[in-house]
Every structure is written in C-alpha cells, then in structure tokens.
Amino acid sequence: MLKSHIHQVSNSISLPPLSTPFITDQHSSSTVISRKVLVKKRRGGSIRNMSTSTTTKATMISTSSVDKFTMVKGVISVQPTISGVLTSVTVGLIGTVADRVSDLFGKSFLLELVSTDLDSSGKEKETIKAYARPLNNGSKLHKYQCEFKVPYDFGDIGAVLVENQHRQEAYIKDIVLDDGSMIFPCESWVHSKYENPDKRIFFTDKSYLPLETPVGLKSLREKDLETLRGNGEGERKTFERIYDYDTYNDIGDPDANSDLSRPVLGGDQHPYPRRCRTGRPMTSTEPWSESRTTLPFYVPRDEDFSEIKEVTFGATTLFSVLDGVIPMLESILTDSGLGFSSFMDIGSLYTERVNMIPSNNGLLSAVPRLIQTIVNSTKSYLQFETPRMKERDSFSWFRDEEFCRQTLAGLNPYSIQLVTEWPLTSKLDPEVYGPAESAITKEIVEQEIKGFMTLEEALEQKKLFLLDYHDLLLPYVNKVRELEGTTLYGSRTLMFLTSTGTLRPLAIELTRPPNNGKPQWKHVYTPSRDATDAWLWKLAKAHVLAHDSGYHQLVSHWLRTHGATEPYIIATNRHLSKIHPIHRLLCPHLRYTMQINSLARLALINASGTINTSFSPKKYSMQLSSDAYARDWRFDHEALPADLVSRGMAVEDESAPHGIKLTIEDYPFANDGLLLWDAITRWATTYVNHYYPQPNLVESDTELQAWWTEIRTVGHGDKKDEPWWPQLKTRQDLIKVVTTIMWVCSGHHSAVNFGQYDFAGYFPNRPTIARTKMPNEDPTVEEWEAFISKPEDVLLDSFPTQIQATRVMSILAVLSTHSPDEEYIGTNIEPAWAAEPVIKAAFEEFSGEMKAIETIIDSRNRDTNLRNRRGAGLVPYELLKPFSEPGVTGKGVPYSISI
C-alpha cells in the first residue's frame, strides 16, 4: 500500500559496511587539527565571539620539520534506509553488486577539501582529494573513512565537496574531520554521480553573512545557490534539489472529467501564494492546467525525508489513508448519500470494531484511528478512539456555552472579532446581493441581554463579539446550491460577554441572496425555550459550525500556515546560503512542510479530494480560499499580537505584560500564544543581534534582501504592491519578520491542527457540511410537517453522510497525531547553534522558557476562575503546551508544519 509513496527513495543506498580494515600509510605523519577555544574577530570596530569548532583552522603540525603536509582523517556517516534493503530484493543485484565493488576498492565516496584562502596568485586553491571506503564499526550508522594529505599552508578548511560513487543515492548525516575537530552538518541526500555529475557542497557549522564569506568560499557559496535555483525549465526529477515557483494550476483533473476542472489559483483573477514548480506536462484538455500524477508530486529531494525521519510517520500514514483505507471505505459504503439514522449509529463509530473486508451490512460501524489498527493473519480491524470532547461530556456539543467557548479555546480561535460598529452591514454590492444591513436589530440584541444594558452600552464596554462569514460565503451561495448534497448561507453569529468572562450566543443570521426571481432571504434565530424555535436554533448552529469548519480548514489552517509558508521555504533555499545565519535560524521551522503540502495537492485540496467532497463549498472550496487570501491575508497581521489587535481582541498597551491588553481576559489561545510569541521573539532578538551587531548590516546583506524581495514580489507576488509589507532595513525589522515566520510554522499551526480529532472527531460538534436548507426557508407543506413531526431526523439529514464523516475522521486522526520523534520547539539544538557559545546559551534559555510555559499552562488549567479553561466535562486548553508524547494528545508544538 505504501509502495507508491516510497518510490522516491527506492534507489537509496543502505549497504552494510564491509569488514575490510581501513588501510593507512605507515610513513605518513600524525594528524592534528588544533581547536581554538575562543577566537575574537574584529568587524567594523566591534568584537565578536566565535565558536570553537566553527572557526577551527586545519593547523598542520608535522612530526618532522621537513614534512610539508599532514594526514587528516575524515569520517562520513550515512543513514541506513529501509529501501536500501528492499533494493536488493525488488530491483535486483545490478546496483548493489556494483556498489559493493566500489566499496571493496575503497571508492565509495570521493571527498575534496576546500580552503577558505586563495593561493599566491589570487586564485582558489586546488582541492585536496581522497576516496572514502567502509569503516567497520558498531554504530547504527554506516561509516566511511578517508585520509587526506593536506599541505601545511593549505589554510582553513571551509567546505567539502562530495561525489557519490555508488549507483544509489545516499543520505549523509555529517562529515567529521579528526574525531570532531571539524564538523560539516549535512542531513542531506547525495545523488549518484551516474544521475548527476555535479559534486555536492557542504560547509562547516560556522555561519557567515555574505560580506564575511572567506574569499576561498565566495564562488562556492554562489554556485550552491545557483544549483538550488535551477533554470526554470523541464520536468523535475526525484533526485533534484531545485526550488522554483508555480501557481496552483494542478488541483484540477480536466482530462479525467470536465467536472474536475478547477481555475488556476495565483494571478490577478484568483490571487494566491505560490507553490513549488514540478514542471509536469500540461493537460490535453486545458493547456493552462498541469497534469496530475498518481504518485506524490515532486518536492526538492531534501524536503522529502522518507525513511530518514520517523516524523514522516504522519506523511506515510496519511498517504496510506488516502490511498488504501478511504477507497476501502467507499467500496463498503456504496450509497454515497446515506446519512446516519440515529445518534446511536454515530456513537457506534467509537464502540464497535469493524472487519475491513467488505460486507453486506451496509453501515460501517467503525473506521480507522490508525494507531488502533489490529491485524492478525486473517483479518484487519480498524476502530476510532473516542475523541476527548465526547469522552469527557457526550452532550457538551449541544450546549450554547460550549459553542461559544470553542471560539476562544477550540479548533479555530482565529475568527472571533469585536463588534465596533452598528448596525452590522455588508460590504457587498446590494444590487447583486440584496440589502446590506443585517437583520440583527437593536431590539433583538436588547431583548436577548434582557435589560442588563443597552446596545450602546454593550458596544462601549466591548461586550459584543461576532463570527462573520457573511460576505465571504454569500457570493457562493447560489453556485453551491446548484451542487448535489450541499447547501450554503452567508452567516453572522453574535455573542455577548457575560460578567463571568464567558460568552453567550445572542443571535444567528442566515442569508440567501436573490436568485431566480426570488428576493434576498434572511432570518435571525435566537436561543429559545419554545420547542420549534429551539430546534431551529440547533439547526442554525449546525450551519454556522459547518461554515466555521470550512473556514478553519481552508483559511486558518491550510492557507495561513501550509500555503503561506511554502513561498518562505522556496525563497530561503533560493537566496539564503546554507551558511547564512538566518537560513540556519529558520531551517528547523521549514522542514517537512513541502512534502506534506504535496500530499495535500495530491488528495486533500485537489478536485476529487476530501475538502472538495466533504465540506460545504465543495468544488468552490479552494476558490473561496483564494478570495479569503485576496481580501484578508496580510503578512504583518500574521504576527500574533497584530492579529489580535486587528480583530479587536486586544489593544496595544505598553504597560501590559505582552505589550497588548486582551479584550476578553480569559482567552486561552491568546494567553498561551502570547507566552510562546514572546519567547520566540526573545530568542530571535538575541540571534539577530549577534549576527548583525551593526544596524546597517541588515540592509547591506545582499542575500537577505534578495530573499525578502522574492517572498514579497514572487512567492506572494499577487500582494506585492500592498503598503503593509514590513521594511527590511534594521535589526528590529528582521526580528519581526523571522519571529512571524517562526510563529506561523510552530504556534499558529499547532493551535489549529493538533486539536482536530479531539474537537472534530465527533462530527456533530463540528460538522464539515450542512446538506439541507433550514426548514423555515420557503418550505413545502411536506417539508415543514416532517420537521415538526421529527426534528431530530432533519438535524441528522443535515449532517455529513456516512462516507463524508468517516473519510474526514480518518484524515483528522492522522493530522492530529504526533510522530514518535517529533521535533518540538526548543528541544533539538542545531549544530550551527551549538557551535556559537552566545547562540548556544540563548537557545538553552529559550529551551528553559518552553519548560516554564508548560508549567504555566498547567497552572492556568487548574484555575477554577478561568471558566473558559476549566469546568465540568471541559477539555482543558493544552494545544500550545510545547511538548507531548506520541499520538493524538491535543498538545505539543513542533518547530515546523510537519503534518
């Protein structure tokens, strides 16, 4: 089932080391590379502390005064891979035998040392070459050793070139000279010379700004970047490492079915961030649409860490769900329109185990929470685990208070906003969409708050809050209603902040624009004790929840984290050298994202994917995401404090702990998020100030300026002329930019991702679709009587079908799962950070802050005064606790968007 996923690494080298001992020259001199404990370097009058190993000079101390060289040993560590073992079975012995012959003759890898200095004529010095051969050792890694004959006057070693002599690619973790005197962090796939004759370039763990680059490395630095940029031509091959831009012109499949055609996202008509270019041929039906593939799309080789990091448990498991489990579910649930007949049937999803062999019973009573899979020799069973929300309180989803609480401490805390103007008014053209003023009147509001205060007092005291999906959804209502099995409204949901700090819903407005001669239809629903109105209220909430689910998945989650981040990754690799300090700061925050995004384009956001089949907007889902990007996305508002202020959920206040004062004091997402935001800011501040000791260094950094320019003008090129883009002239500018990117990849993504199963795994709490219109919208006599006689059936009919619900739940179970070796923020120190004493100390402080945040969040969740966090049956807010165990835990903040 996973074979199609691991095809990209099926040529990976995984050769057991030969037992041939390493042969040395008995007449060579001893090898010594001195380690400088502290080096002070003057730059523009300032003194900087450099690291020990990073500035090490290969000082050649000879055993004889007449020797002009010394012998330096190097060891390459190669990560074994599963596919390397499989190669000998599935591919045959040609590559394996040839590679063993290379190993036997001591020609596994060719290494070349590069000096940081020029020769006496001003040219780059000749490299020092040596072949590496297997080293017999007890390590889990495969070790290859070589020995260099290095002239005494060679100077500092700044880089090493690697040529892989095997016919299979190899994943090199690092290269070490003389037992750790010099370290070259690699963590990279190295192609076979038979696929590409160009040598790979690896630099030491010392970071350089462009102007600081040693003269001997300048051309190599630029050459490495040129390789990563490519020439923008041809179809990309799996072993390549080329980063380039393209539009989202590959989510449709017009050659398969005209109904699967989708507009290109990216450009004037449908603005959107750019994705990585693959260069696949265009479709025969639409020359502007790129052809599809049944395999994961191309990503630059180092972005696909298949088999190397267990973090891809998430990616490979997701692929197995999309490629195996979901087709099996669809084969069993043959009636795509069949819903659930009772809440008992929904509950059975978590209590009964199912044999995945197709049967005739019609209803699949349990489907995969994949880590709960039970397999024996004859049968495979799959079963959902009960989501924490349902486990703690089976009826919490029914309560109005929980409906409101989850806007502050649930899956989508990014939509709620303060009401600052009255009346509520649409910005859409009334000639097209009908009267702009909301039907939620002053009288309705004051009736619901029952004399506590007037509307004017509520506005002045900042007591009214809104979920507003009216203008975003209304243009799609008529188009969506032409599709089978779904409906849509524009919606507004008004809430009131009570004296206890909790929210209470006041009213829901649902709107249908004019259509086919019918005028605009809108209706306001309020909580009620009257039986009919009470059920209408429950149904209205179900519609709003479907709207919120769609917005969460398409905008808060996909667009603002996955989609917006891909251009940062592309630009970082195209313009910031591997030895640039900002590249090394951002690197852990950008890992794995492109691989996950390619899987999303393969089977989640594509025309026949889960989003398009199981969410209310259906085929218009990604176009709606584009509208949200065009209307609302701003880089400067992706910073957490700015986001809160822009929604009226905070005001700037220098005297407040985080520089802002929250409008709702007990706002769990904001309170915990600001702790994380401030810690990231302090870490970024120390880091940036260390590498840019003088303010003018930011503006004079050519790589940095090219990076920021390309993010704005190409990666997010449809927004290039917006006035809100931050300048990048000072250290403070740079700190804000990198902090925002680091936050989006870590805290923002975690807040909207890892609670998906706990909050949406029981889909009545967060249905992804509303399939039927409200009973009181132009009802027939039969429709109204059906509602009056059995309103529960009407609610069940509006919920997702069996296949829609189980398909989404299967995916949410995977998306919410932490891998066994997840890289949580503040845990793993990068080699380049550890090499600089100042940066190492700052990281240790940052790591300590993450541990302190854990304690603070635990303390908050025990505070009975914080009613949005603690109460009978409530799921405590832990999504921004930095650390977690493996599995679906509802907590844990990885560095990057790794699933």
Catalytic residues: 557, 562, 749, 753, 899
Q: Coil, helix or strand for 177?
A: strand
β-pairing, 521-525 vs 503-512, is: antiparallel
Measured CA to CA in angstroms, residue 542 lies from 389, 425, 523, 537, 796 at distances of: 17, 23, 15, 9, 10
CA distance to 112, 402, 787, per residue, from 346 (Å): 63, 20, 21
Instruction: Concatenate the DSSP letters of all residues of 290-308 into one string.
Output: BPP-SSPPP--GGG--TTT
The answer to whether 892 and 818 are in contact (CB under 8 A) is yes
How many angstroms from the chain centroid is the CA of residue 800? 27
DSSP for 552-597? Answer: IIIIIIIIIIIIHHHHHHHHHHHHS-TTSHHHHHHHHHHTTHHHHH
For residues 122 and 604, give the distance between their C-alpha atoms in angstroms, rounded to a whole number.
55
Look up residue 604 and give its two tokens.
Answer: 């989640």
What three-state secondary structure class fits 473? helix
Cα 261-264-270 angle, rounded to 5 deg: 125
Distance CA 619, CA 605 (A): 10
**Cα dihedral value 467, 552, 880, 400, nearest 10:** 40
What's the angle, vertex CA 217, arms to CA 215 and CA 220, rounded to 5? 135
Q: 826: helix, coil or strand?
A: coil
Helices H, strands E: what count in the chain?
Answer: 31, 24
Which residues fall within 8 angstroms of residue 670, CB to CB, at 6 or more apart? 413, 640, 644, 649, 650, 662, 664
Tokens 């009826």: give the residue.
395
Non-local (6+) Cβ contacts of 449 within 8 A are: 458, 496, 506
CA dihedral 703, 704, 708, 713 (to 10 degrees): -20
Angle at 477 between CA 473 and CA 483, to 5 degrees: 125
Q: Which amino acid is at 18?
A: L
User: What percent helix, strand, coil does the chain show, rounded to 5?
Assistant: 40, 15, 45
- The answer to whether 172 and 162 have CB atoms below 8 angstroms apart is yes
Query: Is the bond preceding 641 in cis, omega lying within 30 degrees of 0?
Result: no
Asked if 315 and 4 count as a contact pair (C-beta separation under 8 A), the reply is no
**The two structure tokens encoding residue 112:** 């070349």
CA dihedral 94, 97, 102, 105 (to 10 degrees): -150
Amino acid code (one letter) for 226: E
Contacts of 807 (CB under 8 A, 6+ apart): 326, 329, 330, 610, 613, 614
> Would you state the structure tokens that stand for residue 498, as one six-digit string?
């009570």
d(CA 372, CA 336): 26
Q: How many CB atoms lie within 10 A of CB 636?
A: 15
Contact criterion met (CB below 8 Å) for 843 and 829 = yes
Do residues 423 and 438 lie in contact, with contact meaning Cβ atoms separated by under 8 Å? yes
